[in-house]
């Protein structure tokens, strides 16, 4: 494991352009560097940014088995266009088997049931993929303006045995839009139908009148984070505070 002075690194990285942040990560972590994607509304920006600097960086995509058809088609199109070194990972339980054993967890008005769903279909597969790839550092496209939790994140942090780095943490929607436009990159198809964020078909909807935050369109407004970007001991207390 490389020795990284987090305070010193964050001080420097926060003053750097996203491309410089990715380049620093590539130099620092080498073949242990990966990037994750959800193929969400604005995912093309982070994928283009990462692959412009590190063309064959491993791209980890957790396919829950419940994504909208538009997401699967978008992923296929973008993977071909950017020549992604894509690693698709799924839960060990198939959707049908999970529903038979545990029910349709997403239908419960219960954060604990939603958290169980996320652990089964998202968190475990992601952690397994990072281990199989030998990842020592993980790039993600989180932004500080998306949720209260993300607003408090540093650009670089230690997460167990690996580091996590957020190159576009300081970007806003206008920055993402400008990047997509400058590079002629597409939004997810559901953007045209009013979606500001999209995950599974059963837990995402378009923005409606009266919505005060785009993440309120996910998980029926019961929570904001799916668990991928939470420390295990943070999940219960953080999600319950959002009820």
Among candidate residues 21, 16, 17, 18, the one with its CA nearest the CA of residue 163? 21
Scanning the structure block, which residue is given the tokens 């996320």? 118
- Catalytic residue, chosen from 3, 9, 12, 226, is 226
CA distances from 161 to 27, 105, 131, 136 (A): 19, 30, 10, 7
Among candidate residues 82, 72, 18, 17, the one with its CA nearest the CA of residue 44? 82
Q: Which two tokens stand for residue 236?
A: 């219960």
DSSP alpha helix (H) spans, the chain = 6-13, 18-29, 43-53, 69-82, 95-102, 111-118, 124-132, 148-151, 173-182, 232-240
Active-site annotation holds for 226: yes
Name residue 129's beta-bridge partners. Answer: none
Cα separation of 216 and 43, whole Å? 19
Active site residues: 226
């Amino acid at each position: 494991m490389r020795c990284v002075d987090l305070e010193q690194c964050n001080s420097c990285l926060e003053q750097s352009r996203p491309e410089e942040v990715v380049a620093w990560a590539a130099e620092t972590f080498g073949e242990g560097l990966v990037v994750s994607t959800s193929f969400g509304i604005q995912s093309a920006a982070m994928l283009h940014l990462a692959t412009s600097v590190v063309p064959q960086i491993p791209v980890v995509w957790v396919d829950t088995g419940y994504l909208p058809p538009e997401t699967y088609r978008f992923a296929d199109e973008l993977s071909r266009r950017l020549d992604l070194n894509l690693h698709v990972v799924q839960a060990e339980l198939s959707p049908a088997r999970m529903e038979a054993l545990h029910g349709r967890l997403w239908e419960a008005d219960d954060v604990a049931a939603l958290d169980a769903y996320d652990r089964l279909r998202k968190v475990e597969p992601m952690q397994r993929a990072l281990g199989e790839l030998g990842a020592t550092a993980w790039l993600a496209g989180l932004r500080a303006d998306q949720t209260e939790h993300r607003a408090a994140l540093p650009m670089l942090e230690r997460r167990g045995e690996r580091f996590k780095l957020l190159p576009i943490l300081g970007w806003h929607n206008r920055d993402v839009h400008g990047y997509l436009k400058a590079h002629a990159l597409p939004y997810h198809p559901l953007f045209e139908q009013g979606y500001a964020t999209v995950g599974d078909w059963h837990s995402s909807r378009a923005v409606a009148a009266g919505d005060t935050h785009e993440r309120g369109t996910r998980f029926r407004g019961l929570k904001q984070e799916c668990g991928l970007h939470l420390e295990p001991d943070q999940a219960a207390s953080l999600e319950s505070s959002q009820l």
